[in-house]
Amino acid sequence: MKQLFDSVSINCSKLVTKSYSTSFSLAVKMLAPSIRDAIYSIYGFVRFADEIVDSFHNYDKEKLLKKFEKDYYKAYKNDISLNPILHSFQATVKKYNIDDRLVQAFLKSMRQDLHKTKYNTIEEYNEYIYGSADV
């Protein structure tokens, strides 16, 4: 039954990708079939984090983002999450040995999006861009 849950989790990530970005989901179809599920998993994770930061204006976004991050690391540690997006992402991170520093850099940039609107140095700005776009 775990395989079924894994498959459902990937399908949720795929649905998130298709729902939020038609052009990106079409581009994914041009990639090798063997890596598509991983791309959907990564997109689902970054999309949900970005959604927390950019869209949930009537909620405590900082609290939601902290919970999302905490839940991800719990999923990573336990090899499972009942949140299908986090479940598929943690599996992809492990399968492809994605360095946690990349995940941390991304989440740091998402936290910066909550409050920071001005960067005092090019280094600060580049660090933000690295986490939000490069990784």
Domains with residue ranges and CATH for the chain: 2-134 (1.10.600.10)
Q: What pLDDT, on the 0 to 100 scale, is given for residue 116? A: 66
Residue 134 has pLDDT above 90, yes or no: no
Question: Does residue 2 sit in helix, strand or coil?
Answer: helix
Q: Is the pLDDT of residue 133 over 90?
A: no
Tokens of 128: 């933000």
- The Cα–Cα gap between 126 and 24 comes to 24
Whether 37 contacts 12, CB under 8 Å: no
126: tokens are 């580049």
